[in-house]
């Protein structure tokens, strides 16, 4: 998997279909072959970054 945000391959698994980019520090969740991106805030909450990317940019290629 490649991070849609920074194009890094430095992605770790944190759960079932949940990943973390160690280069730009965002959380990625895959649902129905679409990546949902979230920034982890200082209080631990998640802010969606999906609106910054098109559906095509967020599609997982298999």
For the chain, what's the residue count? 62
**pLDDT tens, position by position, 5-53:** 999 999 999 999 999 999 999 999 999 999 999 998 999 899 999 999 9
Phi, psi of 3 (to 5 degrees): -70, 125
62 pLDDT higher than 70? no
**Nearby residues of 56 by Cβ (< 8 Å), 6 or more positions away:** none
- What is the pTM for the complete model shown? 0.83
The confidence score (pLDDT) of residue 14 equals 95
- CA-CA distance, 18 to 36, in Å (whole number)? 9
- CA-CA distance, 5 to 57, in Å (whole number)? 9
The confidence score (pLDDT) of residue 1 equals 82
Residue ranges per structural domain of the chain? 1-62
């Amino acid at each position: 998997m490649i991070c849609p945000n920074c194009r890094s391959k430095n992605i770790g698994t944190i759960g079932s279909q949940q990943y973390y980019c160690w280069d730009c520090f965002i959380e990625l969740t895959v649902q129905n072959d679409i990546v949902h991106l979230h920034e982890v805030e200082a209080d631990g909450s998640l802010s969606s970054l999906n609106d910054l990317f098109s559906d095509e940019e967020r599609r997982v290629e298999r």
